[in-house]
């Protein structure tokens, strides 16, 4: 195999692994935003779940149990966020930023308390397909949770576009007053959307820890939650394009990691910011507001 092909394979492989947590979380954030919440606490959901998954994996000895715990922890953050901002109407950005800071502080402290150890879910490789040139290894040799995306992406799409729940949720995000008049429980739908967002962002965070890395380290999500928000905006509130955004950010991240190994020397501090700069650039160039939910980030209370 030529070195170019090998390099490409390496970058693709790590690109997919880096994009996967973003994709999970983006499926969640997409739903939350369609319901009208610009949910900033994805970062907290992912980071909390990353920590929780390793901790629970250590306690139970099962990486899969850890993964599950991550999902639940993410959902917990989502329900706290939902209760605060769509029941007691605290400003959603304030709630999100406080949760992010809180989870970062808490996990940074807990990680110093004891050794969490290494836990990782099994790897699967699809016989036959894994031997395909260039694409074989990146696509068909993975930690198994990646393949959950194959079910979760269509499910998310179906829920939002085809189910009654999704219809009501979109109405709540576009025009809460009209939805309310129609008899839809706007704030309940928004809380539920946040719960879904939490569960999926949690899955993304947990995948990062027990799936990819196999351990937890301080602030291991490092702002990936914000990339997820950027991906949804970049995607113009369409699921497909949002996932394209995740792939682009994942690949950019992979490229950053691969460059030194390929013999290029670039200031590493500068490189770390590359995906974020790219996100900013992509949003500047490609964002359309067309599908922006009409009441995004606007709290709803019946006027009286």
What residues numbered 44-73 form the site for another protein, per CB under 8 A? none
Which listed residue (174, 189, 228, 248) binds another protein by CB under 8 A?
174
The contact mask relative to another protein for 99-138 (x = CB under 8 A, - = no) is ----------------------------------------
Report the alpha-carbon distance of residue 183 to residue 190 in Å, rounded: 15
Q: Among 53, 175, 187, 221, which residue interacts with another protein (rule: CB under 8 A)?
A: 175
**C-alpha span between 81 and 158 (Å, rounded):** 25
Nearest to 222 by CA among 68, 67, 97, 46: 46
Contact with another protein (CB under 8 A) among 29, 168, 212, 253? 168
Interface with another protein (CB under 8 A), residue from 89, 185, 288, 301: 185
Residue 87 is a binding residue for another protein (CB under 8 A): no
Q: Among the candidate windows 13-21, 23-31, 51-59, 171-179, which touches another protein by CB under 8 A?
A: 171-179
Q: Residue 142 has what DSSP assignment? A: E
> What 3-state class would DSSP assign to 294?
coil
Smallest separation, CB 185 to another protein (Å): 7
Q: Residue-wise over 31-65: b if at least 16 C-beta within 10 A, else e?
A: bbbbbbbbbbbbbbbbbbbbbbbbbbbbeeebbbb
Q: Are 229 and 40 in contact (CB under 8 A)?
A: yes
Residue 181 vs 266, nearer CB to another protein: 181
Q: Is 162 in the site for another protein (CB under 8 A)?
A: yes
Contact positions with another protein (CB under 8 A) in 264-293: 291
Measured distance CA(302)–CA(304) in Å, rounded: 6
Cβ at position 238, least distance to another protein in Å:
13
| 141 three-class SS | strand
Q: Toward another protein, which CB reaches closer, 74 or 173?
A: 173
Q: Which residues contact 103 (CB under 8 A, 6 or more apart)?
A: 43, 44, 47, 48, 77
Residues in contact with another protein by the rule CB under 8 A: 162-164, 167-168, 170-171, 174-175, 177-185, 291, 294, 302-304
């Amino acid at each position: 195999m030529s070195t170019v092909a090998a390099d490409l394979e390496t970058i693709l492989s790590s690109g997919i692994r880096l994009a996967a947590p973003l994709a999970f979380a983006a499926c969640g954030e997409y739903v939350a935003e369609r319901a009208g919440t610009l949910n900033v606490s994805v970062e907290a959901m992912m980071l909390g779940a990353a920590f929780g998954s390793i901790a629970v994996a250590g306690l139970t000895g099962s990486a899969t149990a850890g993964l599950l715990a991550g999902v639940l922890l993410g959902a917990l953050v989502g329900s706290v966020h939902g209760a605060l901002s769509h029941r007691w109407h605290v400003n959603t950005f304030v709630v999100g930023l406080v949760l992010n800071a809180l989870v970062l502080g808490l996990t940074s402290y807990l990680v110093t308390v004891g050794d969490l150890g290494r836990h990782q879910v099994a790897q699967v490789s699809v016989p036959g397909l894994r031997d395909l040139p260039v694409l074989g290894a990146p696509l068909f040799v993975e930690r198994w949770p990646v393949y959950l995306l194959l079910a979760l992406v269509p499910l998310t799409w179906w829920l939002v576009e085809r189910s009654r729940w999704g219809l009501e949720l979109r109405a709540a995000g576009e025009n809460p007053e009209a939805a309310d008049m129609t008899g839809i429980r706007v704030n309940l739908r928004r809380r539920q959307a946040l719960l879904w967002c939490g569960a999926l962002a949690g899955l993304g965070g947990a995948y990062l820890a027990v799936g990819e890395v196999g351990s937890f380290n301080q602030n291991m999500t490092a702002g990936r939650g914000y990339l997820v928000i950027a991906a949804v905006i970049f995607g113009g509130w369409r699921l497909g394009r949002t996932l394209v955004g995740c792939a682009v950010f994942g690949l950019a991240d992979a490229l950053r990691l691969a460059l030194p190994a390929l013999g290029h020397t670039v200031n590493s501090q500068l490189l770390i910011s590359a995906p974020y700069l790219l996100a900013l650039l992509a949003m500047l160039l490609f964002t359309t507001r067309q599908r922006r939910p009409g009441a995004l980030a606007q709290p709803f209370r019946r006027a009286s």
